[in-house]
């Protein structure tokens, strides 16, 4: 396999030709913020937090789905990128009803952590306050659309790792919702194996174990690299 050489934040880096900028940066010890990305799942480039500046391109390119190229010059942390990342986070908060103080995932939330890391002190955009439901029909788990950021980690883990493909996305734009089976209550899903992988990979409190109180929902994701490793090379 051919090796490409490029620079990331001025640092000379070499990577295999099929690697993404995100992989190359991670290997080189350069941290790019991510949200929809999770090691072990396929990439969708949904959240755009990993946007980078690549010389020769006017567009900002998401590191998770942009392949490395020979002679590429990548910037991961410019002022412009910081500005856009903060804006993305604020828009995520404005889109649904995120109230950290009373959330089951308080202190254990990827979205909250990113907001803190990016110095988000307030949201400059009008909150949408959508009236979205809570699906608590499953015996063990709760889906709260108020806290969903449509990263589709649940959809991917269910399809790619569990193989059940219970989760999917319906609707368009801000009306998009993750759904179980054919948009029926989760508790009535025929395909769900109740494995809880979706709950564990969910970055926020959107998916949680039933009965958890505020700040009690800690996610366990250590199973994912293990399962991926076990399946290496299998269909």
Q: Which of 3, 18, 102, 191 binds other proteins (CB under 8 A)?
A: 102
Least Å distance between CB 169 and other proteins? Answer: 23
142 binds other proteins (CB under 8 A): yes
108 binds other proteins (CB under 8 A): no
Q: Which of 86, 91, 215, 228 binds other proteins (CB under 8 A)?
A: 215
- Looking at the Cβ atoms of 29 and 211, the one nearer to other proteins is 211
Q: What is the 3-state secondary structure (H, E, C) of the chain?
A: CCEEEEEECCEEEEEECCCEHHHHHHHCCCCCCCCCCCCCCCCCCCCCCCEEEECCCCCEEECCCCECCCCCEEECCCHHHHHHHHHHHHHHHHHCCCCHHHCCCCCCCHHHHHHHHCCCCCCCCCCCCCCCCEECCCCCEEEEHHHCCCCCHHHHHHHHHHCCCCEEEECCHHHCEEEECCCCCHHHCCCCCCCCHHHHHCCCCCEEECCCCCCCCCCCCCHHHHHHHHCCCCC
Least Å distance between CB 113 and other proteins? Answer: 18
Choices 42-50, 174-182, 189-197, 210-218; region in contact with other proteins by CB under 8 A = 210-218
Q: Which of 214, 223, 227, 228 binds other proteins (CB under 8 A)?
A: 214
Q: Which of 177, 187, 195, 228 binds other proteins (CB under 8 A)?
A: 187
Least Å distance between CB 133 and other proteins? Answer: 7
- Looking at the Cβ atoms of 14 and 128, the one nearer to other proteins is 128
Interface contacts to other proteins, rule CB under 8 A: 101-102, 104, 106, 133-134, 136-137, 142, 144, 187, 210-216
């Amino acid at each position: 396999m051919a090796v490409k050489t490029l620079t990331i934040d001025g640092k000379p880096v070499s990577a295999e030709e099929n690697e993404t900028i995100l992989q190359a940066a991670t290997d080189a010890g350069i941290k790019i913020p991510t949200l929809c990305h999770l090691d072990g799942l396929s990439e969708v480039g949904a959240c755009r937090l990993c946007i980078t500046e690549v010389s020769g391109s006017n567009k900002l390119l998401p590191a998770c789905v942009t392949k490395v190229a020979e002679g590429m010059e990548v910037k991961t942390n410019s002022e412009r990128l910081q500005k856009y990342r903060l804006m993305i986070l604020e828009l995520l908060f404005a889109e649904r009803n995120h109230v950290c103080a009373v959330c089951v995932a308080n202190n254990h939330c990827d979205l909250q952590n990113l907001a803190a890391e990016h110095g988000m002190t307030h949201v400059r955009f009008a909150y949408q306050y959508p009236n979205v439901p809570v699906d608590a029909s499953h015996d063990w788990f709760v889906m709260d659309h108020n806290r969903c950021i449509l990263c589709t980690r649940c959809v991917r883990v269910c399809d790619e790792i569990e193989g059940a493909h219970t989760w999917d996305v319906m609707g368009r734009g801000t009306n998009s919702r993750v759904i179980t089976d054919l948009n029926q209550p989760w508790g009535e899903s025929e395909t769900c194996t109740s494995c809880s992988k979706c709950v564990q990979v969910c970055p926020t409190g959107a998916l949680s174990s039933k009965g958890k109180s505020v700040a009690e929902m800690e996610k366990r994701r250590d199973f994912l690299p293990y399962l991926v490793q076990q399946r290496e090379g299998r269909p």
